[in-house]
Every structure is written in structure tokens, then in C-alpha cells.
């Protein structure tokens, strides 16, 4: 098996990190991996916001928790019942990806970019977890505040995020579901 396929197979979603900050070189490499992603018609409909400000992440976590806790219990993750649950898992760096609202391919393109970042993190000996939950920070009266604080461009909105750091947890590979592939011809 080649190195890239090995990285893809070994990558896990990590949910515990050392507080050690990433270096500028590590962050630049991760962002570059995202920027190198292919996009429909090469439109590159994204904006990456690299957040290392733990106070800001804590404020966002509080907003996310507040919003999610308003949902019916059966519609939210049981993790939210834990008082110390942090949506960002105390990662030292979270990369938020915002996308052009007027491009129908934006979600796909941003998904490709976040996966490139995840594979790049794995190749660098870092851990990551891809996050959709931050979307709940961009609701109610906080949307504009967080958009401004994270540098979200006009006509863009939150699409996806990825927390990155040195992992302190281990995780077995998830089982691959049977009957998930059809071979035609």
C-alpha cells in the first residue's frame, strides 16, 4: 500500500488534544493543503479562518451549547449533557471554512478542502476532527458577531470546520459497513 492510502486508512477523528500550539509552519501547511483542493470551475468559493484564540472558541462553544440545548433531547448528541463538553475538544487550533452562498458547489468544494486538511494533519503527526456543530454558533443574534470576528466575507456563510492539534486519545478504526459499494460492469 502506498503512503497516501496508508494515511487515509490510519486517520481517525480525535477528540482530545494537548494544549500545545501549532507552529506557523504547521498552520501554513494545513491551510495550503486546503487551498490546493480542487473546486468546480476552479472558483475556490471559500475563506479559511484560523482560530487559536481560546477565549473566542469558548464563547462560540457557549453559544453552540445554548442553541443545541434548546432542541429536543432526542435530537441532540448525548455529549451535550456533560457539563464539560467542548465542541472543539480543547484543540489549540480550529480552522473555520466559510463559503460563497451563491455557488451551488460550495458545500462539496469545502468538504474536499476540509478532507485535504485532515489528511495533511495526519501526515504531519497531528490529529483532527471535522466539525459541523459550529454551525449552531452562527444562529440567532450571534451570527453577525461571529461572522465579523472570524472574518467571514460578505455573501459567505459557515460551511464546516476542523479542529487540529496533537492528539492525546487513541481510537480504533470504525467498521466499514457492508453493502456500501456496488460494482457495475
Chain segment 117-156, per-residue pLDDT in tens: 999 999 999 999 999 999 999 987 899 999 999 999 999 9
Residue 71 lies in a domain: yes
Residue 177 lies in a domain: no
Question: Residue 124's closest CA among 54, 47, 5, 22?
Answer: 22
Residue 173 lies in a domain: no
Residue 151 lies in a domain: yes
Q: Give the model's confidence band at 15: pLDDT under 50 very low, under 70 low, under 90 confident, else very high.
A: very high
Residue 19 lies in a domain: yes
Contact at 8 Å (CB) between 139 and 67? yes
pLDDT of residue 174: 84
pLDDT of residue 159: 98
Residue 172 lies in a domain: no
Q: Give the model's confidence band at 27: pLDDT under 50 very low, under 70 low, under 90 confident, else very high.
A: very high
CATH code of the domain covering residue 68:
3.40.109.10
pLDDT of residue 178: 82
pTM of the model: 0.95
Residue 178 lies in a domain: no
**Domain coverage including residue 22:** 3-165
Could you give the CA distance from residue 77 to residue 82 in angstroms, rounded to a whole number?
A: 10
Q: Give the model's confidence band at 1: pLDDT under 50 very low, under 70 low, under 90 confident, else very high.
A: confident
Residue 179 lies in a domain: no
Contact at 8 Å (CB) between 43 and 103? yes
pLDDT at 81 over 90: no
Q: Say how many domains are in the chain.
A: 1
Amino acid at each position: 500500500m502506498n503512503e497516501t492510502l496508508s494515511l487515509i486508512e490510519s486517520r481517525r477523528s480525535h477528540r482530545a488534544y494537548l494544549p500545545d500550539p501549532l507552529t506557523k509552519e504547521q498552520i501554513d501547511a494545513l491551510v495550503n493543503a486546503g487551498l490546493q483542493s480542487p473546486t468546480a470551475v476552479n472558483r475556490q468559493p471559500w475563506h479559511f479562518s484560523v482560530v487559536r484564540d481560546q477565549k473566542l472558541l469558548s464563547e462560540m462553544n457557549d453559544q453552540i451549547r445554548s442553541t443545541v440545548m434548546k432542541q429536543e433531547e432526542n435530537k441532540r448528541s448525548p455529549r451535550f449533557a456533560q457539563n464539560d463538553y467542548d465542541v472543539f475538544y480543547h484543540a489549540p487550533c480550529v480552522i473555520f471554512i466559510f463559503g460563497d452562498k451563491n455557488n451551488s458547489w460550495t458545500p462539496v468544494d469545502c468538504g474536499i478542502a476540509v478532507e485535504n486538511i485532515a489528511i495533511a494533519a495526519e501526515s504531519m503527526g497531528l490529529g483532527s476532527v471535522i466539525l459541523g456543530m459550529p454551525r449552531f454558533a452562527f444562529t440567532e443574534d450571534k451570527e453577525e458577531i461571529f461572522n465579523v470576528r472570524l472574518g467571514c466575507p460578505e455573501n459567505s456563510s459557515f460551511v464546516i470546520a476542523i479542529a487540529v492539534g496533537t492528539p492525546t486519545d487513541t481510537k480504533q478504526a470504525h467498521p466499514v459497513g457492508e453493502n456500501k459499494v456496488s460494482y457495475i460492469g
